[in-house]
Structure 1
């Protein structure tokens, strides 16, 4: 029987060929391993360079501004990487950072008190922790023609409870600290009973506001309104009427001063001089909101993402903040409402007064931001 070598293959030839093949495959395997190892050791490609935050808008609202001005600044910012941002604001351009906002949301407003006339350049710095963007905005503040302080004259008509007069005088002093400058003189001519129902006749020049106070049996404990406006649209003459049957109870409950302050706020124009579209949105609906730029800035400071809710009664807008959300604020209707907040002062600036926002009382809303409450089966309001 022949061996494999006998059929034309040299003895040991298969073994030699097989050995060369094995060595060849081993060489390929080693080369592949080297290539893979080299690939594994190669560094990842560098990430694209981070870009700085983008300031899409930055400017002043609510012009014209007259000293001392409460200037609302608003800005919009984004970060291309989606990183959290912080903002620093120098509102009057004096070189000092007034506030740091961290985290800084995409849409922010802040009020700046500008006491001097002239050009002011606000600075905004936005950082994502790696890169920083600086933006500026210039606004102008004019000189006030009448630099006198604001004066409120309390005028009793008929017999007025001394405690009521004392409460009204105290309220006048409080509001005089809020309104920072006087108004232009205005001649006023009123017949008796033409402003409210108990006012005496008046014929004279008003500087800055005259408030007629009388006692009358009326359904509420008190009510008030302005009667005569100046050419600037701000009240010059108004009235407050107190129910004599309820003033004793108010005094015993420690609420007479609060009621006097609340009613005088209405004479100044809170709620009763608001215009739909200019100051309020949704005035004819179930969810009216105050949308003046200075109130919006204070709203932003409170981290609220929707405008301040205004009260409704039986589907009709009432000239008050919504008490459920605003709680103990003087221009809400809660029994313990005595805090004269920055929101209310800013609302006076939005209708045209020069104000001192620093005269505000300490105040915090009673409910967390974003709270929603069902007022009826079909109406839910949030703030």
Structure 2
């Protein structure tokens, strides 16, 4: 392969880091460890219910034993143990470079059909929270492994930065103050739909906006690269006008670019989405603009790929510069909003809200923080 060596841009490095982190043996082992704790705690709760003889007060002629601990012990507990056994099997299969879904969805589907009527309200809450945490942990693996391999840039953004509204999704950016070093091996090529030559992350050869994928050599063809998730012509125009980082943080630049290149299509999209609840102000919502871009600005293309190696223990000295939008200055209460977007103030709990440019921002009297100052929220629309 001739030509200059290919290097990853900062977004591609983030995506590669997400892929290598969540598909690692250590992360899969972490799932097994969490299942061990969940199963151990659940077994204690089951034993307590059975020893206390709760079932004799729960079983009835109409519903039989459906709500009992004995029924859950017969069907629910084995489902948890089967899930753990599946993960143990997957850990072993990594040695022959075979990757597969964790089995989380199968277990969840089984448990959804079973009653927790044998537990106390507190026991049920504790189990649901614990199961939800383990299930959420597993879905990161499943979504990246596929099939299909359809991670979008927006999804990678969520995995990198986390979710402002979901404490269970803190993201992994804080784990990587410096991005790992990567080498693109242009002599190691893969092709959509064909088994790759090496297990690991692949980058599209000729599309810097295309999402990276994790592929593997073992097993059947599920490890092959899928179609490249990228932007179509409309999406590329919007991204070029807004700046790529403004799509990740959903800044006002994205709204302006969408309105510039697809004004009527955007309004029609939002009207259809909101129906009778549509308000013209929603066209200024960066979250709506991002949603429009995800639905109308994306494409799937077959392509060729290069293998991306993560250099263990080596990191970039600094993150590559990106175009970060200038944040509006903090604004006193009682003054007009300088820029449409999401704002918050420490003067009132739960104050985060969307303001339109020119809208007067309220002031809150008697706050322990003193005067009200509104601050631009970096996580626009999330």
TM over 0.5: no
Rg: which structure is higher? 1
Task: Give the structure, 1 or 2, with the largest relative contact order (CA under 8 Å, sep 6 or more).
Answer: 2
Tell me the TM-score normalized by structure 1: 0.22
Structure ranking higher in helix proportion: 2
Of Structure 1 and Structure 2, the greater strand share is in 1
TM-score in terms of structure 2 length: 0.22
